[in-house]
Structure 1
Amino acid sequence: MSKILPEKYRHPYAFNPKYKKSAVYFSMEFAIDQCLKIYSGGLGFLAGSHMRSAYDLKQNVVGIGILWKKGYYDQFKQEDLSMGVLFQEKNYHFLEDTNIKFTIKINNHDVWVTAFYLKPETFGTVPMFFLSTDLPENDYLAKSTTFRLYDSDTNAKVAQTMVLGLGGAKLLDALDYEPDVYHLNEAHAVSCVFHLYNKFKSVEAIREKMVITTHTPEEAGNEKHNIHFLESLSFFDGLPLDKVREITGIYDDTFNHTLVGLRLSRIANGVSKLHGEVSRDMWKDYPGICPITHITNAQNKKYWVDPWLDEAFQNKDRDALIKRKTRLKAKLFEVVADQTGKIFDPNVFTIIWARRFAEYKRPDLITRDYERFIKLLANTDKPVQIIFAGKPYPMDYGAIHNFDNLTHISKNIKNMAVLTGHELKLSRQLKEGADVWLNNPRVTREASGTSGMTAAMNGALNFSTNDGWVREFKDLNKTQNSFVLPIVDHTLPTHQQDEMDLENLYEMLENKILPLYYDTPKKWWNLVETSMKQIVPFFDSSRMVDEYYKKLYK
């Protein structure tokens, strides 16, 4: 086997000697550029930053993902302003057809798979390959496997993971490329281990090469399926069930994808210090798992930061910094006006909550004391504007109801807006335009939650519950750089946790944050500059991808 990619797919640089070991990074989603709509949220944002920083540091990394023909979905508002879901075909003329074709078995049928190539020069990433089953050789069912990211049909979703795992491993064979490291970003691609077993005939050989990143902070959130169901879908690449049980150590009928990934990797990582601790505790009673370390998530500053804002900050020119931040708020408020018909004021304190809508993230928490919320937004002495944005899973009707309810509340409030289309472009605009970036998940539920990092890079202060990455950020250098709520007892019933967090949120907002912003602006900007200074270098993804080599690939 060759260790060198075919010439036309090689990296456009000589490898930094620290990063010469070859690694292939498998991910269901990558958020690389606004025009390449193959991501849903945080997992993809992280993977996109990883691919950009690996390129910046001249690492020997290759990315493998899936070319989702209809993306995740396009979000819009229907006639009554409730949220609509549109699946629309996407075409990408900047991707190169490799003309590589091979088959994998799905449901005991041959399914043809092809790969498209993203040149490093296009967006500043390492070489990347995107798999597709949208080929004339396939019937409609097989073609549609790579239509929608995270298909809500269980059979289809498992088939998708097989395209990534088995298909990704077979693509490397077709390229005659054998990397030193197979890096699974989550357990989606874990089916690749069965192809590798057929190839190497040894669990030790797989373990020598495989590492896994886990993002889910609770055991119940990890994908599980009936082992006979998976066998019927040809998930095990032709291996008999007795051999599968021997390889994976799973002797009952519940196949836990993350558990198998942890058993067949030589090392794993959680995505924040706290998440590493939670993961070690979560899996400690399962025999045969690999050591779990942590590598705190980070984001690619070069991509995310507004260059003029950063220049003013680097030059220690506070007047220019304030002027640019005000301009960025005005630019965001053009989007608000366009979508909602509301005119926001760049001189008014602006709160933004924007991320995937999920129950534990509590998008609507601040509105749950409705009288207090209305009083907050009616205050003319210390005025407040608030913006919400985010894309629920398209079949998560509870989260969609939450989105619709916020839209309904906002109809009669001139300084509250709910925006659609939360993808890379809008995400960047929201961070550039935020004064505070509100993040209020129930503590221990958010593995990392990286959006506040890029908000801080753009002069927004984090206002958060004490979970995920913020726990590490707030303790940097022992100087205040954010507003973090006290931890409530997470063993309490959730309604009690929510009530206590809500009370603490209002207490901090009304008695600390607003007076600081309006009464002592100099101190406000001191805090903004402290936050901008402390967010890098630790939360820039150059540190993160360096740590992957030091801690995982070594």
Structure 2
Amino acid sequence: MDFKNFKMPFGIDPQYSKKVAYFSMEFALEQVLKIYSGGLGFLAGSHMRSAYNLKQDLIGIGILWKFGYYDQARNHDQTLQPTWTKKMYSFLEDTGIKFQIEIHSAPVWVKVWYLDPEIFNTAPMFFLSTDVPENDHVSKTISHKLYDANEATKVAQYILLGKGGAKLLDELNIERDIYHLNEAHGLPAAFHLLKKYNGNLHKVKEKLVFTTHTPEEAGNEKHNLKLCYDMSYFSGLTMEDVKKIEGADDDKFNHSLCALKMARIANGVSKLHGDVSRTMWSKYKGVCEIISITNAQEFKYWSDKPLYKAKEENDEAAFDERKKTLKKRLFEIVADQTGNLFDPNVFTMVWARRFAGYKRADLLLHDKERFKKLLNNPKYPVQMIWAGKPYPMDYSSISTFNSLVEESKNYKNMAVLTGYELSLSKSLKQGSDVWLNNPRVPREASGTSGMTASMNGTVNLSTDDGWIPEFAKHGENSFVVPKCDYENMSIYEEDNYDLNALYEILENEILPAYYDHPEKWRKIQHNAMNDVKDQFNSDQMADEYYQILYNRS
């Protein structure tokens, strides 16, 4: 392929003819390509698959992480050990394109790799790397570890994605109508455009759209303005001019705020998150309109087809047998990792996602006696599985993970798994009965793992946050902790309220339904599968991005 005059490798559906470049730090496309850490990547991966399904004129731009995020290994006592292994991908094509961008006032070489759409049924994708012989060691490390802990390296990674991605489009000699930033990491692309358009911010705004995923201002990344300037983040713009655009009155550079000032339009990733974002940013002048497009996942990739077939044919025996088969498959992984033999006839609940404080992985264990009673209930036996990757330098979350590992040594029906990536994620969603999700409201912007659980006949038990208010019908397709006046509660009070509500729902509603009323339980499973299939399929989401974001004048 002639990459210097790149052409879309498939015919474009005319309703999706606007030309889009989609910038993201991570993409979860397939288990073998380890360039993702969590939900942001899972969302971007489904988006790229749906862009292919709908034949949209969209290309993805990311970074080829030499060591990925990290590999989740164990120490000799089973606790978490982050390890980094060099990754190799024979299916990526060397484009032959190499160019230089300025980082920290010095030229850095960027090499470009290509993922053909037919490999994983995605949009055409380009991945940037600085790990080339022409660069010095420090420059090589920019593309080594996703979300590197070193602040300067992290800023350099944003420059590589944004400025490098924008420069790549120039090298490919392809014009894009829309530059879509999935989170603010790729914002240097906007400053590259600003320089290209001789400081005409209006022309940049015509092209730039922004998806924000963070529902509280403190969670949005800020770095020292002088550091960003010294790192060549702003493509030559003075610090004074940057501050005029960004508008905050301190010495920090707020990436999301600046993206909201430079974009034509932005979106939150659920209806609730859109409301939270509009309130959160309303105190700043000049922020663009913020709408909502709820995150979704690709049905074709995530759903278990035989389970849907049995449901559609009203074959209850086949449905139950298929679910039991999926549970057995998962329990082989549990046995292999932990030595615990789980029973496919026993109710199994899973908590699996990124470990972070507000997600409260260990909430059920805040009441040790009640947890012990739950796991030792002779009438309604329970099995519990945890999985997820804490950020490798988040020692508090690693401590939570390790405390769960220690607790699991007391129970033969509790397991903590490592290696929470696409493959294990799919197995957990197919092999569980209930998907537990208990973030502090309203701190979960979307939380798509519950969608893919529902696509596999697994019922959500959740606090009323993220996408859940748009989906959940308590007792019909899921179970939801009733909202209360969280704003006027202390964290301690909120945790206690949610903890008690979760146990009440488990003990009084979910377990009796599962064991005593299997017909009722199956109906809840079917409702969840029906309700998630279309509304929260990323084909619908990718269509909405064109109709209400890209095509918005």
TM range (shorter): over 0.9
Partner amino acid, structure 2, of 1:237: S
Partners of 2:5 and 2:509 in 1: how far apart?
57
What stretches of structure 1 of length at least 5 have no aligned partner? none
Residue in structure 1 matching 2:47, options 46, 50, 53: 50
Counterpart of 1:490? 486
Q: 1:149 to 1:483 in 2, by over 3 A?
A: same
Partners of 1:7 and 1:171 in 2: how far apart?
10
Query: After superposition, where does 1:292-311 map in structure 2 within 5 Å?
Result: 292-311=290-309
1:488 Cα deviation after fit: 3.0
Q: Does 1:115 align with 2:115?
A: no
1:380 Cα deviation after fit: 1.6
Contact 1:68–1:132 (Cα < 8 Å) also in 2: yes
Partners of 2:170 and 2:193 in 1: how far apart?
10
Residue in structure 2 matching 1:456, options 454, 457, 465: 454
Counterpart of 1:12? 9
Contact 1:5–1:176 (Cα < 8 Å) also in 2: no
Q: Does 1:480 align with 2:476?
A: yes
Contact 2:4–2:172 (Cα < 8 Å) also in 1: no
Partners of 2:148 and 2:396 in 1: how far apart?
17
1:252 Cα deviation after fit: 4.1
Residue in structure 2 matching 1:137, options 134, 150, 174: 134
Partners of 1:512 and 1:250 in 2: how far apart?
49
Q: Does 1:549 align with 2:546?
A: yes
Partners of 1:62 and 1:5 in 2: how far apart?
16
Counterpart of 1:38? 35
Counterpart of 1:336? 334
Residue in structure 1 matching 2:441, options 410, 431, 443: 443
Q: 1:7 to 1:104 in 2, by over 3 A?
A: closer
Query: After superposition, where does 1:162-201 map in structure 2 within 5 Å?
Result: 162-201=159-198
Contact 1:309–1:325 (Cα < 8 Å) also in 2: yes
RMSD between aligned alpha carbons? Answer: 1.4
Partner amino acid, structure 2, of 1:156: T
Residue in structure 2 matching 1:352, options 320, 342, 350: 350
Query: After superposition, where does 1:354-393 map in structure 2 within 5 Å?
Result: 354-393=352-391
Q: 1:307 to 1:5 in 2, by over 3 A?
A: farther
1:489 Cα deviation after fit: 2.3
> Alpha-carbon deviations, 1:489-533, whole Å to 9, x = none?
222110110011101110000000000000111111011111111
Query: After superposition, where does 1:76-95 map in structure 2 within 5 Å?
Result: 76-95=73-92
Q: Does 383-392 or 6-15 show the bigger shift? A: 6-15
Residue in structure 2 matching 1:234, options 229, 232, 239: 232
Partner amino acid, structure 1, of 2:460: N
1:428 Cα deviation after fit: 0.1
Contact 2:296–2:448 (Cα < 8 Å) also in 1: yes
Residue in structure 2 matching 1:429, options 427, 440, 448: 427
Partners of 1:75 and 1:243 in 2: how far apart?
43
Contact 2:4–2:173 (Cα < 8 Å) also in 1: no
Structure 1 residue matching 2:176: 3-state secondary structure: coil
Partner amino acid, structure 1, of 2:465: D
Partners of 1:206 and 1:416 in 2: how far apart?
53
Counterpart of 1:27? 24
1:322 Cα deviation after fit: 0.9
Partners of 1:135 and 1:285 in 2: how far apart?
45
Counterpart of 1:218? 216
Partners of 1:250 and 1:373 in 2: how far apart?
46
Query: After superposition, where does 1:138-157 map in structure 2 within 5 Å?
Result: 138-157=135-154
Contact 1:10–1:127 (Cα < 8 Å) also in 2: no
Structure 2 residue matching 1:449: 3-state secondary structure: coil
What is the aligned-residue identity percentage?
57
Contact 2:8–2:124 (Cα < 8 Å) also in 1: yes
Query: After superposition, where does 1:498-513 map in structure 2 within 5 Å?
Result: 498-513=495-510
Partner amino acid, structure 2, of 1:509: L
Partners of 2:54 and 2:423 in 1: how far apart?
25
Counterpart of 1:74? 71
Partners of 2:266 and 2:367 in 1: how far apart?
41
1:12 Cα deviation after fit: 3.4
Structure 1 residue matching 2:127: 3-state secondary structure: strand
Structure 2 residue matching 1:269: 3-state secondary structure: strand
TM-score of the pair, normalised by structure 2: 0.97
Partners of 1:357 and 1:122 in 2: how far apart?
31
Contact 1:267–1:552 (Cα < 8 Å) also in 2: yes
Contact 2:6–2:173 (Cα < 8 Å) also in 1: no
1:321 Cα deviation after fit: 1.1
Counterpart of 1:207? 205
Q: 1:47 to 1:191 in 2, by over 3 A?
A: same
> Alpha-carbon deviations, 1:304-334, whole Å to 9, x = none?
1122212222323222111100000000000
Contact 2:69–2:145 (Cα < 8 Å) also in 1: yes
TM-score of the pair, normalised by structure 1: 0.97
Structure 1 residue matching 2:43: 3-state secondary structure: helix
Counterpart of 2:97? 100
> Alpha-carbon deviations, 1:86-132, whole Å to 9, x = none?
01100100000111111111111111111100000000001000000
Contact 2:5–2:172 (Cα < 8 Å) also in 1: no
Partners of 1:242 and 1:383 in 2: how far apart?
64
Partners of 1:61 and 1:490 in 2: how far apart?
40
Partner amino acid, structure 2, of 1:215: H
Partner amino acid, structure 1, of 2:482: P
> Alpha-carbon deviations, 1:409-465, whole Å to 9, x = none?
001200000000000000000000010000000010000000000000000000000
Structure 2 residue matching 1:351: 3-state secondary structure: strand
Partners of 1:250 and 1:509 in 2: how far apart?
46
Q: Does 309-318 or 542-551 show the bigger shift? A: 309-318
Structure 2 residue matching 1:480: 3-state secondary structure: coil
Structure 1 residue matching 2:486: 3-state secondary structure: coil
Contact 2:21–2:60 (Cα < 8 Å) also in 1: yes
Partners of 2:2 and 2:87 in 1: how far apart?
28
Partners of 1:91 and 1:515 in 2: how far apart?
49
Counterpart of 1:514? 511
Counterpart of 2:533? 536
Q: Does 1:59 align with 2:85?
A: no
Counterpart of 1:323? 321
Contact 1:184–1:211 (Cα < 8 Å) also in 2: yes
Structure 2 residue matching 1:462: 3-state secondary structure: strand
Q: Does 1:267 align with 2:261?
A: no
Partner amino acid, structure 2, of 1:438: L
Partners of 1:175 and 1:359 in 2: how far apart?
42
Partners of 1:244 and 1:99 in 2: how far apart?
35
Partners of 1:250 and 1:504 in 2: how far apart?
40
